[in-house]
């Protein structure tokens, strides 16, 4: 009797970094085509709206960059942590804590020079995100508690804290809506284009991607993080302080995720709301894995998902397909990417019983 089993590869295929994203996208298209057919529309027409229409005008293309901005932050945050072997699933909560800090400080900088105010809220958001990431990081390096569970469970805790603030002391005193008061004009991110929503957060995200790429690819710190991510035992044998490296990766990851919250408050919402993030932290996992945990890959994947987000709205208006099509595509893409990542480390082999 012949059985099929997974056998660990000695080394991943060289072409896998390129073929994985292409294969993931192709398989996702095939799987989501059934949803479009069930809605009575042609998948080709839906995909034309989804992936071609966003490039049809300057406004739509700029909106792609707006949609990609928070994903650049969260994708980079997840990639930094995952690359070091720290499985941070808490970018969503860290994003919200960065937003809390920005919303609070943004109402206390009236009359300050704008560059100083912007620098302060960016720094405060990064620190808040790092602090929210500190507890699960310490539990991992000190007690060996799995960070997948702790970081994931802290996400709803962060949302409950936001809800408590917005339905309590931070409720808007004028409208009485569950949202914080608007931040001061000095704390608002400048718009990069007239009458467009693209803001300073996009440039900050690109700067974060560039700095992270340089550190990870060109410095001893990046080398230590990669070694720890590949084999902590070998890293420890080589004299690398594994626990310190993991702690640093976790805190940097949390800080970058916190910047996503600052970007949304300072550049889009101008206040803290419960719906500030439709899951940017979780989508960052898709961005990081689809990008192969590299900063260049993160940038490409974030732009791609920005196209999906803008195209989904266009497809919903032009065709009779669900408005959640983009979310379905992202969810399926995550599952397919994770499945293909298994094949990066294992191959299917036959075994005789």
Give DSSP secondary structure letters for 66-94.
HHHHHHHHHHHHHHHHHHTT-----HHHH
User: What's the confidence (pLDDT) of residue 75?
Assistant: 97
pLDDT (0 to 100) of residue 4: 63
pLDDT at 65: 97
Residue 266 is classified by DSSP as I
The two structure tokens encoding residue 100: 């809390």
Give helix 280-290 / helix 91-106 axis angle, nearest 10°. 130
Q: Is the separation of the CB atoms in 258 and 101 below 8 Å?
A: yes
Going 276 to 300 to 205 to 191, the CA torsion angle's sign is negative
What pLDDT does residue 8 have? Answer: 65
What residues does 319 pair with on adjacent strands? none
pLDDT for position 1: 52
At residue 7, the pLDDT reads 67
**So what's the pLDDT on residue 15?**
65
Please give the CATH topology (third level) of the domain spanning 2-352: ABC transporter involved in vitamin B12 uptake, BtuC (1.10.3470)
pLDDT at 253: 98
Phi and psi dihedrals of 167, rounded to 5?
-100, 5
Q: Which residue has tokens 């379905």?
A: 328
pLDDT one digit per residue (tens) for the chain, 353 residues: 556 666 666 556 666 666 777 788 888 888 888 878 877 778 888 888 888 889 989 999 999 999 999 999 999 999 999 999 999 999 999 999 999 999 999 999 988 999 999 999 999 999 999 999 999 999 999 999 999 999 999 999 999 999 999 999 999 888 889 999 999 999 999 999 988 999 999 999 999 999 999 999 999 999 999 999 988 888 998 899 999 999 999 999 999 999 999 999 999 999 999 999 999 999 999 899 888 899 999 999 999 999 988 988 888 777 777 777 778 888 888 788 777 777 666 676 666 55
Size of the chain, expressed as the number of residues it contains: 353
| pLDDT value for 220 | 93
Which parts of 87-165 are beta strand (E)? none
How high is the pLDDT of residue 10? 57
| Beta strand ranges found along the chain (DSSP E) | 2-8, 346-352
Name the residue ranges covered by the structural domains of the chain. Answer: 2-352
Positive or negative, the Cα torsion across 26, 313, 278, 284?
A: positive
């Amino acid at each position: 009797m012949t059985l099929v089993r997974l056998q660990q590869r000695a080394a991943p295929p060289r072409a896998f970094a390129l073929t994985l994203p292409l294969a993931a996208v192709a398989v996702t298209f095939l799987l989501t085509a059934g949803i479009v057919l069930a809605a009575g529309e042609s998948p080709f027409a839906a995909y034309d709206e989804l992936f071609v229409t966003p490039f049809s005008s300057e406004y739509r293309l700029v909106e792609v960059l707006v949609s990609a901005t928070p994903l650049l932050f969260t994708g980079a945050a997840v990639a930094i942590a995952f690359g070091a072997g720290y499985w941070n699933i808490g970018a969503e909560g860290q994003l919200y804590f960065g937003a809390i800090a920005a919303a609070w400080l943004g109402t206390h900088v009236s009359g300050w020079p704008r560059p100083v105010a912007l620098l302060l809220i960016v720094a405060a958001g990064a620190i808040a995100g790092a602090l929210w990431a500190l507890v699960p990081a310490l539990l991992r390096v000190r007690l060996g508690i799995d960070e997948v569970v702790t970081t994931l469970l802290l996400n709803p805790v962060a949302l409950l804290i936001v809800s408590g603030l917005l339905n309590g002391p931070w409720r808007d005193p004028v409208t009485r809506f569950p949202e914080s008061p608007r931040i001061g004009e000095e704390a608002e991110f400048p718009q990069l284009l007239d009458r467009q929503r693209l803001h300073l957060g996009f440039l900050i995200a690109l700067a974060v991607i560039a700095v992270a790429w340089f550190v990870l690819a060109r410095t001893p710190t990046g080398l230590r993080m990669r070694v720890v991510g590949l084999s902590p035992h070998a890293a420890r044998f080589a004299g690398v302080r594994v626990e310190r490296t993991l702690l640093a990766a976790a805190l940097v990851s949390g800080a970058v995720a916190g910047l996503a919250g600052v970007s949304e408050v300072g550049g889009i919402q101008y206040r803290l709301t419960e719906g500030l993030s439709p899951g940017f932290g979780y989508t960052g996992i898709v961005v990081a894995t689809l990008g192969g945990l590299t900063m260049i890959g993160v940038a490409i994947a974030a732009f791609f998902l920005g196209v999906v987000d803008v195209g989904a709205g266009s497809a919903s208006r032009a065709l009779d397909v669900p408005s959640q099509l983009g979310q379905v595509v992202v969810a399926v893409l995550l599952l397919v990417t994770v499945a293909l990542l298994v094949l990066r480390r294992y191959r299917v082999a036959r075994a005789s019983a």
